[in-house]
Structure 1
Amino acid sequence: MARIARLSDVLINKIAAGEVVERPASVVKELVENSIDAGSRTVRVALERGGLGRITISDDGQGMSAEDARLSLERHATSKLRELDDLFTLSTKGFRGEALPAIASVSRFTLHTAERESYVGTRITVEGGGEPLVEEAPPRVGTVISVEDLFYNTPARRKFMRRESTELQHAEEAVIRLALAHPDVSFFVEHGGQALFTSPASPTDPRERIAAALGPGVHPHLVAVEERRLGVNVTGYIASPEYTLPNARGIYTFVNRRYIRDRGLNSAIQRAFQEFLAAGRQPVVVLFIDMDPRAVDVNVHPQKLEVRFADAKGVGDAVNAAISRALRAAPWLGPPGGEGGAMEPPRQAAHYAMAVERFLTRAQEATWGAPLPIPGTQDSDAPAPPQANGSLFAPSAPSPLLPGRAPAFGQAQPMLNEAPPPGYFGALRPMGVLGERFHVCEGSGGTLVVLDAHAALERARLMAFHKALQRAEPPVPTLFGATVELAVPVARTLVEGHEALARLGLEVEPFGGTTLALKAVPPALVGADARALLEALARALPPPGSALDVVVLAEPLRVLACHAARHAEGQLSEGKLRALLGELDAADFHPPCIHGTVVVLEVPLLELERRALRPPGTKS
């Protein structure tokens, strides 16, 4: 009997769903992109229970015939590609033909569509990837798709969803990205019948759409940027240095109207702003990069969030030049100073920012009435909501202020434990160790930064374990095995979970009674406390028979990372610390760790100067 067999279509679609459908926001993104590709002028998104209960996307696009509607639910069936060369001249959002069948395989899916001027429409229902039920329906304008009970038939994936409020914020952010890219399309988002985001089309003034997406306070600060080079056009808007954020969430970059995350582009933006922003503050940027589709590969990421440029340096230089020119020509700089028209030095600019801060603080004291957030009540995985008074996003933790008082400039801590700016950790200069655990560093601009060595090691080790799991590396026998006597339930759980342990790089065998022999562990765990490690893994292992992928093994991976960090803490020399900081710059901060707070404290230079200059006895 052959050991190799073709996978069923249902299983293939569920595998694809693991890559394409990460959370409700992924469904919203894929379906709204289809609406835009269909020529819609209005897109409506209705959500229930953060998108976990129901997602309904309706549009006024060109719709589909019955035959096209049936084909749209077949894997790799698409209207956007015909030949291989089409892959290199894409002008649409989607192109792989995976989204609809993947979504339908993990939900209760309904599609109702009709072509324009058609006398009959088509309704298709799919239950968890089963056989589609196709029937005639009343004609309608465009298409409406309803996705109910997402992940109901994949409980392991459902278990890893965040709180409903968090998933809702991610879904809203997915719409905002598309709304920024397409100001000529009207967008309306509601949750539980309540409007969340309403933005009519504003094709003549994109600033209206930016203000609708990021808050009205940004509108008067927006300045146009433009740079045209051979093969690359950069347009968009930046906010003046008077309007900044404590994190990098106000940076939106689009390539051929597709939202992307690119370290090179973010680095070019940061370089352009570095002379104008105080330490710990981030700019607001909405940039559109238009270029020949043949000069950029969009088929390098499952969710199409990353691209590969043929000339990455040239694109980065164009972005840097566009922003730099706008900044140097902007009115907030005032007349050139010094001989030869030299610009104001960064330290003087910082004192100017302090003056702006004092003004904002006085204004906020008169108008701010809401209490500050309580630590631990905010989900760190959630995109922060827009906020007025010069800051788009809420602070990651309250500052030591009077009750009801707004956080002043420089006091709101950046959310560095969720989205650190590119190169943040590599730029730190270690200065010493506090309490044999916390590393005190100097950041850019004299910022004081305190790192938790355990959390930093844990983040780096988690990334390494993720990569090892994806490479399916077999366990490597260790020279110094260990035998551990455990409680009966713990030993039984570990023996039953030997396949999961092998996927994690551990080999455990019965050694008589309730004693187990630990014969192989990942290199980072050689010498770790075997009993504590095995007992923690027994509590984290998935039930026998579970699919052993990254999602199901997420909790055991976190346990491995924590124990590897605990073992390595006392061996962290200055050289190893610098190497660790480089690893953190390359790490993905989205997967949660057991101890996720790497940056324990960051105090910008402005705050230190404020405290040094404050007369004795005065309050904040």
Structure 2
Amino acid sequence: MGRIRVLSDQVANQIAAGEVVDRPASVVKELLENAIDAGANRIRIEVEAGGRKLIRIGDDGHGMNRDDALLAFERHATSKLRTADELLSIATLGFRGEALPSIASVARVSLDTATGEEPSGTHLEIAGGKIHHVDDAALPRGTTISVSDLFFNTPARRKFLRAESTELSHVTALVTHYALAHPEKHFELLSASHTLVSAPPVNRPAERIYHIFGKDTLAQLLPVAAETQLDRSGLPEPPPWKRDPDEPARIPGWLRLSGFYSKPELQKLNRNSIYIFVNKRLIRDRLMLHAISEAYRNIIPPTSYPVVLLFLEMPPEEVDVNVHPAKTEVRFRQQSLIHDFVRDSLRNALIAARPVAGFRAALESSAAATPSLIPVPGSRLPGSPDEPPTLGDPDSPSAAEAEPFRLTSKPLPPIPGKLPFGEQDLAAGLKQQTLLEAAATLLEPPVASRDSCSSDPLPPPAEAAAQIEAEQAATTLNRLGSLRPMGQLRDSFILAAGEDGLWIIDQHVAHERVLFEKILRDRKVEHVQRQRLLMPLLVELKPWQMVVFAQIADELERNGFEVEPFGPQTLAVKAAPVGLEGASLERMLNQVIDQSSEAEKEPSLSEDLTALRTRIAASIACHSAIKINTPLDPKRMEWLLLELAKTEHPTSCPHGRPIALLYSWKDIQRAFHRI
């Protein structure tokens, strides 16, 4: 008898379930995508015991007739794909036809569906992949699927599930993601008869962010929008019966970007707060993460990450979503163009916005020292030391370890003196902190964006979002040049008065930003100013440092250095950029060499000539800038403020430290109880 045999459909479906379904959140993801593809405007999700006991998702989509309901549980049965050519232009969230049979093979499934055009709907029950009951039923238009006893017939898989609170946090984070991507739809998530997420339809993404996360979160984000034309010449010609005779062979296609990005003052320790949606599909992509990091280069520290919510829209044939069973990884046809477009759009938005940092926001940002543990498919780089838990990682840390925060959708009446959801509110016995962390995906630490003890009515999302946008537009760094210096604080910080409040400027990092941008401009036109030293400065290096120096010597020369080897482990510096001398010059060289060595140890897409150039410019600027504890006369302070106002990024120094903080007039009035 031969060794090779054909697996039964039941075993094949359970193997497929291992790729598609690995935890309750995976089931919710597949069923949510089906509901969205069905044109649903209202989606209700109910879970019990974190999804282990029950997952029920109901929608008001177009539903199915009896025959379609039976076929939907056959493997590779789908209404969204007919030919192999259509794989090149997937316009729906689901298309494989594996989700329902895979789920049904490892759980007990009940389906109620109706099209609204037939006299009755269909009720169907499946357990372990076998149909047990099919009957007609009086049902409204739409579909409701109940999945109970997940992995009841695969106990080895069931034991790898995490605690109920952890599984619930994954489900809540996932529903929040889809609510952000589809603001025009109504999402509702309930657990143990309590509402965790309630997101009614709104007109704009800003209103959805306000409704879910609150006013303070939205106030920390700035909008971005851009578009460009794609090169479509490489795509195959459509058949003659589909081609417009007046249309050229080069079919135009647009790449559009919209969303929100955080001010430089808001910094995170990992990529958990970066969300990327391509055609409303949540993805993870190294290319996009790198483009975002490049946009914030020399604006925030290299070890910090921004909060970004980006929506990319492009023709379906420009992105291949058929590269991963969970459909969270994609490939772009024009990778370089999309990368540069995202990077430049964010960078230009930062230059135009010139956001100012307030005292309270800066303090809250500096306190954000714990990474988020919420799973975000689309925010990890495989193998990175800070990669967050994902929906498919059963060994990821429990969400119960994360710090608490407030859920701002306000589904229940608040309890004075307690967080909106206390332990006594949860029949399932969830800890107070673990449930609340489930919906936090943009900001940590806790942000009391809506005072749960306040009796003041909340403004409508549209009105609140418009008010926040108006305040952001009015508060920028464009007025730096009109500030009136009043003096120095301990010869280190400039105090200045403006129409919008009291300003404190760090004189060292302000001058550092001015010098940094000047060095880059001079380097670009090959007009770097250098000064010759009276006596060559001898710098002792270690053998490995000499190797690194040889690799960056050409770029150092183009930045104003004249350095020659002077023995096996010694360099003779004969000329240096203006402003560098003595010990500062030696420290600068050692710093650049050490940083270049560290960059080589950690291979990254960002390590290129531009990275080396900005690293050298930042180091020169840091060691040449005005130091703290340096008295400045009024004219010198005025000159520094005027020069800072001319820079592209007066928000932070090249190493990411804030330059200026504003104590706004409104905050001053509030502190003195004037308002």
Shorter-normalised TM range: 0.5 to 0.7
Structure 2 equivalent of residue 156 of structure 1: 156
Structure 2 equivalent of residue 570 of structure 1: none
| Cα deviation digits, residues 283-335 of structure 1 (max 9, x gap) | 111111111211211000110000011111111111111111111111425xx
Give 1:74's aligned amino acid.
E
Partner SS, residue 226 of structure 1: strand
Q: Is 1:88 paired with 2:88?
A: yes
Give 1:129's aligned amino acid.
G
Structure 1 equivalent of residue 344 of structure 2: 321
Partner SS, residue 223 of structure 2: strand
Structure 1 equivalent of residue 210 of structure 2: 211
Contact 2:60–2:141 under 8 Å retained in 1: yes
Q: Is 1:249 paired with 2:236?
A: no
- Pair 1:135–1:38, CA change in 2 (3 A): same
- Pair 1:206–1:394, CA change in 2 (3 A): closer
| Cα deviation digits, residues 336-382 of structure 1 (max 9, x gap) | xxxxxxxxxxxxxxxx68885348899xxxxxxxxxxxxxx972698
Give 2:219's aligned amino acid.
P
> For 1:379, which of 387, 394, 398 is the aligned residue?
398
Give 2:206's aligned amino acid.
R
Contact 2:46–2:190 under 8 Å retained in 1: yes
Structure 2 equivalent of residue 72 of structure 1: 72
1:151, distance to aligned residue in structure 2 (A):
0.8
Output the CA distance in 2 between the equivalents of 1:391 and 1:17: 28
Structure 2 equivalent of residue 516 of structure 1: none
| Cα deviation digits, residues 494-532 of structure 1 (max 9, x gap) | xxxxxxxxxxxxxxxxxxxxxxxxxxxxxxxxxxxxxxx
Output the CA distance in 2 between the equivalents of 1:379 and 1:215: 25
Output the CA distance in 1 between the equivalents of 2:33 and 2:76: 16
Output the CA distance in 2 between the equivalents of 1:285 and 1:353: 20
Structure 1 equivalent of residue 461 of structure 2: none
1:15, distance to aligned residue in structure 2 (A):
0.4
Give 1:235's aligned amino acid.
S
Output the CA distance in 1 between the equivalents of 2:365 and 2:109: 49
| Cα deviation digits, residues 255-305 of structure 1 (max 9, x gap) | 111110001101111111233324654211111111121121100011000
> For 2:300, which of 254, 273, 277 is the aligned residue?
277
1:67, distance to aligned residue in structure 2 (A):
0.3
Contact 2:288–2:339 under 8 Å retained in 1: yes
1:3, distance to aligned residue in structure 2 (A):
2.7
Give 1:357's aligned amino acid.
A
The number of equivalent residue pairs is 381
- Pair 1:361–1:387, CA change in 2 (3 A): farther
- Pair 1:379–1:331, CA change in 2 (3 A): same
Unaligned runs of 5+ in 1: 334-351, 363-376, 397-431, 433-575, 586-603, 608-620
Give 1:147's aligned amino acid.
V
- Pair 1:225–1:355, CA change in 2 (3 A): same
1:194, distance to aligned residue in structure 2 (A):
0.6
Structure 1 equivalent of residue 187 of structure 2: 187
- Pair 1:293–1:384, CA change in 2 (3 A): farther
Output the CA distance in 1 between the equivalents of 2:186 and 2:263: 27
- Pair 1:138–1:297, CA change in 2 (3 A): same
Structure 2 equivalent of residue 373 of structure 1: none
1:219, distance to aligned residue in structure 2 (A):
1.5
Structure 2 equivalent of residue 297 of structure 1: 320
More deviation, 88-97/125-134: 125-134
Give 2:222's aligned amino acid.
V
Output the CA distance in 1 between the equivalents of 2:348 and 2:657: 27
Structure-to-structure mapping, 1:34-183, within 5 angstroms: 34-183=34-183
Partner SS, residue 131 of structure 2: coil
- Pair 1:311–1:361, CA change in 2 (3 A): closer
Output the CA distance in 2 between the equivalents of 1:13 and 1:70: 16
1:387, distance to aligned residue in structure 2 (A):
5.3
Give 1:319's aligned amino acid.
V
Partner SS, residue 249 of structure 1: helix
Contact 1:189–1:198 under 8 Å retained in 2: yes
Aligned-pair Cα RMSD in Å: 3.5
- Pair 1:274–1:132, CA change in 2 (3 A): farther
More deviation, 274-283/6-15: 274-283
Q: Is 1:311 paired with 2:334?
A: yes
Structure-to-structure mapping, 1:531-546, within 5 angstroms: none
Give 1:293's aligned amino acid.
P
Output the CA distance in 2 between the equivalents of 1:52 and 1:170: 13
Partner SS, residue 143 of structure 1: strand
Partner SS, residue 261 of structure 2: strand
Give 2:92's aligned amino acid.
T
More deviation, 313-322/23-32: 313-322
- Pair 1:382–1:107, CA change in 2 (3 A): farther
Contact 1:244–1:391 under 8 Å retained in 2: no
Partner SS, residue 282 of structure 1: coil
Structure 1 equivalent of residue 284 of structure 2: 261
- Pair 1:216–1:323, CA change in 2 (3 A): same
- Pair 1:245–1:320, CA change in 2 (3 A): same
Structure 2 equivalent of residue 508 of structure 1: none
Q: Is 1:12 paired with 2:35?
A: no
Output the CA distance in 1 between the equivalents of 2:6 and 2:295: 52
Output the CA distance in 1 between the equivalents of 2:34 and 2:364: 46
Structure 2 equivalent of residue 226 of structure 1: 225
Contact 2:42–2:60 under 8 Å retained in 1: yes
Output the CA distance in 2 between the equivalents of 1:103 and 1:267: 35
> For 2:262, which of 239, 242, 256 is the aligned residue?
239
Output the CA distance in 1 between the equivalents of 2:441 and 2:64: 44
1:56, distance to aligned residue in structure 2 (A):
0.4
> Taking every aligned residue pair, what percent have the same amino acid on both sides?
43
Give 2:398's aligned amino acid.
D
Contact 2:173–2:441 under 8 Å retained in 1: no
Structure-to-structure mapping, 1:187-586, within 5 angstroms: 187-202=187-202, 204-231=203-230, 232-278=255-301, 280-332=303-355, 356-358=361-363, 379=398, 392-394=442-444, 581-582=602-603
Partner SS, residue 272 of structure 2: coil
**Greater Cα radius of gyration, structure 1 or 2:** 2
1:384, distance to aligned residue in structure 2 (A):
7.0
1:57, distance to aligned residue in structure 2 (A):
0.2
Output the CA distance in 2 between the equivalents of 1:117 and 1:81: 24
Contact 2:291–2:339 under 8 Å retained in 1: yes
Give 1:154's aligned amino acid.
T
Partner SS, residue 131 of structure 1: strand
Contact 1:38–1:63 under 8 Å retained in 2: yes
Structure 2 equivalent of residue 23 of structure 1: 23
Partner SS, residue 252 of structure 1: strand
| Cα deviation digits, residues 123-143 of structure 1 (max 9, x gap) | 111111223421112222200
Contact 2:42–2:187 under 8 Å retained in 1: yes
